[in-house]
Amino acid sequence: MAMRKNLVVGILKERGFKGEQRAPLTPSDVSWLIKKGLRVEVESSKDRIFKDAQYKKAGARLVNKFKEASLLLGIKPPVLKGIYKNKIYMVFSHTIKGQPENRPLLKEFIRKGVTLIDYEKIVNLESERLVYFGRVAGICGVIDSLHYLGKKLAWQGMKNPFLDVKPAYGYNSFKEIVEGMSRLGYRIKGQGFDDKLSPFIIGLVGHGHVSQGVEEILGYLKAVEVHPKDIQKIIRQPRKQTKRKIYKIIFLREERIRSKDGHRFYFEEYLQHPERFESNLGVYLSYLNLLINASYWDSRYPRMVTKKMVSRLAAQKKFRLAFIGDISCDINGSIELTYKATRQEEPVFTYNPGRGQFVDGYKEDGISILAVDNLPTELPGDASREFSGLIRDYVYQIAAHGIKDITEHAAISREIRRAVITQNKKLTKPFAYLKKYLG
């Protein structure tokens, strides 16, 4: 019986996404794969955070078009016209919710016999993601939110400590961010907030890698955690007791969601019958200065913030919410105000609840919303290094086994086998539900 040949690994050039600098594998991890006996081809790119010369030094072959590579690694969905036939693609395909913009891509993967492995579906037995940029998205999202909130408050005539915060892409590394946030934490402790902004309260919705990144940054700011039920108590305290602190409230499911019938929240019932539930955030929203959304959402579940809720609350004098950092960025999703995704060049728009209108930028009365959908690329080096470390063992395992029929190969780990969306010109069994989008 002939021995299988190792698959040649290929690193795709990211096309069609302006400003995308991330790489799925770093030069050092490419070197690690090569030392273990694999060959690697890298599509030449001037945009990637790591230079072509670094990959060449690591032992990779630079190409303008793949010659031998069969296992192709990227970040974003590849462009439709450039799909290679009969290859394995490992990418974030953004197809698993039947997203309209990527249905043609899914059809093309099937037509061209592509084995598609989606990073988003590489999960453990508890359905927790094992391959992600979430932590870096959380870090960049909260940094950018503080930066643009600082600008908005200054436009409103309020001095605030966030004017010294740069957008995430303004820092050279995560280490530099840590130093900057630590300094800011000490400054707040020493100088405090304007009375109009005190107590300064940040609400966080979500749990998982994204929210962990947010909490990491809030930790450097020495944020004090408060339970939602104590929010009124904090609001009523004398300003001299609250002005030198940032407060954070982490809304658990049972605090941000309530039964429409008024009975207790049961998570199992929520998963089976989400239509029986609605958002409870309206109880707390008026007291927050900043809301960060880092939660998973799809159309079965209730929205957390709606236009109707905001319009009702904004009519009250005590409404304080100035900014929403929607890191999850589901269009017309959990945050109904997120009517579009934004880019680094113009990352913020504002919703005026009185007029029911959206205006680009933050120079408008109402709630400003950050909805950048590729936040991790603002820290491309750190993001790529973390991600590369998460996928390199999977890459080695697939390439070393030298097979493309992944779902039938028991020696390939379960996490990878269950993440295969298309194979042999059809959808795999776990993703058969996507068939309705392919008509």
Q: Is the domain of 117 the same as that of 177? A: no
Q: Is the domain of 363 the same as that of 223? A: yes
Distance, in Å, from the CA atom of 295 to the CA atom of 328, rounded to the nearest integer, reads: 6
Domain enclosing residue 43, as ranges: 9-131+380-437
Residue 320 lies in a domain: yes
- Per-residue pLDDT, averaged over 117-129, amounts to 94
131 close to 140: Cβ distance less than 8 angstroms: no
Q: Is the domain of 146 the same as that of 182? A: yes
Q: Is the domain of 39 the same as that of 168? A: no
pLDDT value of residue 3 = 56
DSSP H or E run through 137: helix 134-155
Q: Is the domain of 154 the same as that of 212? A: yes
Show Cβ contacts of residue 220 under 8 Å, excluding neighbours closer than 6 positions. 178, 181, 182, 184, 185
Nearest C-alpha neighbor of 357 from the set 371, 337, 333: 337
pTM score:
0.90
Residue 4 lies in a domain: no
300 close to 333: Cβ distance less than 8 angstroms: no
Nearest C-alpha neighbor of 140 from the set 323, 372, 367, 296: 372
For 141, the token pair is: 């999202």
Query: Residue 2 above 70 pLDDT?
Result: no
Distance, in Å, from the CA atom of 323 to the CA atom of 290, rounded to the nearest integer, reads: 5
Write down the H helix ranges in 70-173: 103-111, 134-155
Query: Residue 403 above 90 pLDDT?
Result: no
Query: pLDDT tens, 59-76?
Result: 999 999 998 999 999 999
- Which of 373, 403, 425 lies at the terminal end of a domain, its last residue? 373
Q: Is the domain of 173 the same as that of 120? A: no
Q: Is the domain of 122 the same as that of 146? A: no
User: Between 372 and 17, whose confidence is greater?
Assistant: 372
For 132, the token pair is: 């992600």
Q: Is the domain of 280 the same as that of 349? A: yes
161 close to 190: Cβ distance less than 8 angstroms: no
Q: Is the domain of 108 the same as that of 245? A: no
Query: Residue 156 above 60 pLDDT?
Result: yes
Show Cβ contacts of residue 69 under 8 Å, excluding neighbours closer than 6 positions. 7, 8, 9, 10, 40, 41, 87
Show Cβ contacts of residue 404 under 8 Å, excluding neighbours closer than 6 positions. 7, 70, 86, 88, 115
pLDDT value of residue 410 = 84
> Helix (H, G, I), strand (E, B), or coil: what is residue 129?
strand
Strands 40-43 and 277-279: unpaired
Residue 159 lies in a domain: yes
- Burial of 387: CB neighbours in 10 Å, binned 0-12, 13-18, 19+: buried
Query: pLDDT tens, 13-25?
Result: 999 888 899 999 9
Banded model confidence at residue 317, pLDDT cuts 50, 70, 90: confident
Residue 421 lies in a domain: yes
For 71, the token pair is: 């296992």
> Side chain identity at 187, as an amino acid letter?
R
Residue 3 lies in a domain: no
**In the beta sheet, which residues pair with residue 279?**
257
61 close to 41: Cβ distance less than 8 angstroms: yes
Q: Is the domain of 76 the same as that of 224? A: no
CATH number for position 187:
3.40.50.720
Domain count, the chain: 2
Nearest C-alpha neighbor of 214 from the set 239, 258, 249, 241: 249
pLDDT value of residue 48 = 96
Residue 313 lies in a domain: yes
- Which of 348, 373, 398 lies at the terminal end of a domain, its last residue? 373
Residue 415 lies in a domain: yes
Q: Is the domain of 16 the same as that of 114? A: yes
Q: Is the domain of 206 the same as that of 336? A: yes
Query: pLDDT tens, 36-46?
Result: 999 999 999 99
CA 168 to chain centre: 14
Q: Could you tell me the sign of the dihedral formed by the alpha carbons of 236, 242, 248, 250, in that order?
A: negative
Q: Please provide the average confidence, as pLDDT, over all residues in the chain.
A: 94
Distance, in Å, from the CA atom of 92 to the CA atom of 209, rounded to the nearest integer, reads: 16
Residue 49 lies in a domain: yes
- Which of 373, 408, 429 lies at the terminal end of a domain, its last residue? 373
pLDDT value of residue 1 = 39
